[in-house]
Amino acid sequence: HTSPGAAQLIARLLDSLGKAEGILGTIAGDDTIFTTPANGFTVKDLYEAILELFDQEL
């Protein structure tokens, strides 16, 4: 879950990363995001890529 209203912003960020990070697409509600892995990536691969993305300092 995200903070209320933040899911669409975060999903847009994930969509911009695209298939290079293993993301085929996202669906966002108000506070929840569904992601699906691209061909050749597992759910675990996608999960780890997202964790790594949000663990980086900007």
Q: pTM for the complete prediction?
A: 0.78
Give 3-state DSSP helix, strand, coil % of the chain, rounded to 5: 50, 20, 35
Q: What does the pLDDT look like over 10-50, one tens digit per residue?
A: 999 998 887 778 899 999 999 999 999 999 999 999 999 88
Rounded CA-CA distance 44/24 in Å is 14
Domain hosting residue 29, numbered range: 6-56
Contact by Cβ (8 Å): 1, 29: no
Residue 52 located in a structural domain: yes
Residue 23 located in a structural domain: yes
Residue 1 located in a structural domain: no
Contact by Cβ (8 Å): 23, 2: no
CATH number, residue 13: 3.30.1360.40
Q: Residue 2 — pLDDT band, cuts 50, 70, 90?
A: confident
